[in-house]
Amino acid sequence: MENMRVLLVLAFMMTSYLIWEAWQLDYAPKPVTNVSELPVINDSDGDLPVAGNVQNITTNKNAEVVPMLEAPTDKIITVVTDVFSLEIDTKGGTIRNLDLLQHPREKVNTVVNDLRAMIGLDAEEKDERPVRLFNGNTEKLFLAQSGLIANNGSSSAPNHNALFSSDKDQYALAIGEDSLSVPLYWQNKEGLVVTKTYVFTRGSYDIGVNQTVNNNSTKAWSGRQYAQLMRVPFVDDKGNTFIRTYAGGVVYTAEDLYQKIDYEEMEDEDLSVSTLGGWSAMIQHYFASAWIPPVDQKNHFYTKKSKGFRYVIGSYSPAFEVTPQTESVFTSHLFAGPKIQPMMEAIAPGLELTVDYGWLTIIGKPIYWLLNQIHGYIGNWGLSILGVTLCIKLLFFKLSQASFRSMAKMRKIQPRLKELKDKFEDDRQRFNTEMMAMYKREKVNPMGGCLPILVQIPVFISLYWVLIETVELRQAGLTLWIQDLSAQDPFFVLPVIMGITMKLQQSLNPAPIDPLQAKVMRMFPIIFTVFFLFFPAGLVFYWVCNNTLSFLQQWYITRQIEAEEN
């Protein structure tokens, strides 16, 4: 009885937590944004970085007007690699409309379409266009901006509002080539020549950005490079209503490590912090975009709220000087792609933390590592989930065994407890005294089945977040009709099986003495089946595996105890 009460409370707490998260995202106060009135970017929008605690940096409006020898016209450069299709605006060399070619927005389920064809229905309509990360549409505005800011006394330099020129309008990574360079050019009347070069590498989501400053003037030039991400609040149109993940800003510093900075925080206060290395990012479910400055220099990170409900996060470098008739190169990297942890670990320290397991990261990362290792041998992400579930079951075998033995003993004395309840129905105190005496005689610990479960809860929650956050499971198949582990089961077979396994497992547990509690517990499999109809198939498959293994283990232990009594 006590076991059932604890399980009921735990289930209620977890359900309440998920509902609270959904409420916060849907109904918590947010700035009201009229997207139809979002202005186009211009020099007066205030989206340039402001060095609040750095002396002698030019941020006045006059400095933003960059004198050119020949004023080029604003045009769009298209770039295609094996993983990207993107546009670079010659105004500032800003990246916009970046599509991830290997990640379609939705996946066609061939089994569903075959069945629809058999009954004379048209195929399901799916949006098979690539996921668009950076976006030039004002309603979904998301841009990667970079540039230079001159110190006072130096000639002006090109920021993300300056006009560049280019050799070509189209670039493509050719077959057999491992890299592609896209140069943009700018120069002023005083002899300062800047070449901004984007470097794309085959198979990589890491974009190199080099800003080469040639000082052909007669006086030294000093200034800083900056790089920032600017977007309106992200809305996932195709997201699962029941699965909510963080979308917003992130900063990683040597002192505070991984720090979330959501839109409300950017609204309330501007971030201003300096650190060696570090990076700044905007993240969303499965994908991330991050500017990564050189790790060996002290960078200043900032956030700000710009006009039109645009939010900016970025960093700028220390001041550098370029003497007359010399050249200096400012380097940075832009990551834009799926949150694949091994790949991100190789790009920048801590970048893999954008796969957000929250306060359970210390448990979640080893679970992901195990999932990845098993997939390396099996080659199927669905079966890898089964492998991880089995490993966790083996890890907690002794604890589960103690829990199930306690439940089996409780189940054995349940009829006698019912008799006691009927006998002392009007004397609650006497009933409790007699019940505790029975527990003592039979050597039954009423909490013995619950404490082992409590120990395992952090692991179960961590595994939940691993399955939700792992981009490798996105559009990965299991078998037959389960062709996307991140989408709902199209025929709801797995949720029904999950409900059946839950009912079977419940049949081995001691039923509550109280009739109302017993009735509520009988409803649990139905309630959870309906709840899980809307969950990703990968998560439901995990619960099916976990429930099945738990049922088999509990059934075996129950048979053992019954045999011992005979």
pLDDT value at position 62? 37
Backbone phi, psi, residue 440, to 5° = -70, -45
Question: What is the tens place of the pLDDT at every residue in 77-132?
Answer: 999 999 999 999 999 999 999 999 999 999 999 999 999 899 988 888 899 999 99
Contact 485, 394 (CB under 8 A): no
Question: What is the tens place of the pLDDT at every residue in 522-558?
Answer: 888 898 899 899 899 999 999 999 999 988 888 887 7
d(CA 410, CA 435): 12
Q: How far is CA 431 from the centre of its chain?
A: 52
d(CA 528, CA 320): 61
Paired residues of 290 in beta bridges: 281, 335
d(CA 497, CA 507): 15
Sign of CA dihedral 513, 516, 518, 521: negative
| DSSP 3-state of 111 | helix
pLDDT value at position 511? 65
Residue 51, pLDDT above cutoff 60: no
Buried b (16+ CB within 10 A) or exposed e, 331-360: bbbbbbbbbbbebbeebbebbbbbbbbeeb
Residue 64, pLDDT above cutoff 80: no
Paired residues of 132 in beta bridges: 99
Identify which of 11-25, 51-65, 462-476 has the greatest average pLDDT.
Answer: 462-476
d(CA 291, CA 265): 20
Tokens of 432: 């409790």
d(CA 563, CA 444): 18
Block residue for tokens 């990683």: 252
Backbone phi, psi, residue 476, to 5° = -90, 140
490 — pLDDT class (breaks 50, 70, 90): very high
Domains of the chain: 2-19+367-565 (no CATH), 57-74+137-237+244-353 (2.70.98.90)
Tokens of 501: 């396994």
* Nearest Cα residue to 344 out of 276, 287, 382, 261: 287
d(CA 30, CA 465): 26
Question: What is the tens place of the pLDDT at every residue in 275-314?
Answer: 999 999 999 999 999 999 999 999 999 999 988 789 999 9
Over range 379-383, report the average pLDDT: 94
Q: Mean pLDDT, the chain, as a whole number?
A: 84
DSSP assignment string, 254-301 = TTTEEEEE-HHHHHH---EEEEES-EEEEEETTEEEEEE--TTSEEEE
Give 11's Cβ-side CA count (13 Å radius): 15
| Strand (E) or helix (H) holding 347 | helix 341-347
Backbone phi, psi, residue 105, to 5° = -65, -40
pLDDT value at position 242? 64
Contact 170, 190 (CB under 8 A): no
Residue 57, pLDDT above cutoff 70: no
Burial class (CB in 10 A: 0-12, 13-18, 19+), 126: middle
360 — pLDDT class (breaks 50, 70, 90): confident
Count of CB atoms situated within 10 Å of the CB of 554: 22
CB proximity list for 4: less than 8 A, separation 6 or greater: 509, 510, 511, 512, 517, 521
Contact 74, 166 (CB under 8 A): no
Question: How do strand 272-276 and strand 94-104 relate by DSSP bridges?
Answer: unpaired
Residue 258, pLDDT above cutoff 90: yes
What global pTM score does this model have? 0.83
Per cent of the chain over pLDDT 90 is 56
**Angle subtended at Cα 500 by Cα 499 and Cα 501, rounded to the nearest 5 degrees:** 95
pLDDT value at position 40? 31
Tell which wins on pLDDT, 515 or 298. Answer: 298
Residue 43, pLDDT above cutoff 70: no
Name the amino acid, one letter, at 527. I
| Strand (E) or helix (H) holding 99 | strand 94-104
d(CA 462, CA 395): 15
pLDDT value at position 308? 79
261 — pLDDT class (breaks 50, 70, 90): very high
pLDDT value at position 451? 59
Tell which wins on pLDDT, 10 or 218. Answer: 218
Question: What is the tens place of the pLDDT at every residue in 133-188?
Answer: 999 999 999 999 999 999 988 889 999 999 999 999 999 999 999 999 999 999 99
| DSSP 3-state of 241 | coil
CB proximity list for 232: less than 8 A, separation 6 or greater: 33, 35, 38, 138, 139, 140, 141, 142, 308, 309, 310, 311
The three state secondary structure string of 528-566 is HHHHHCCCCHHHHHHHHHHHHHHHHHHHHHHHHHHHHHC
Per cent of the chain over pLDDT 70 is 83
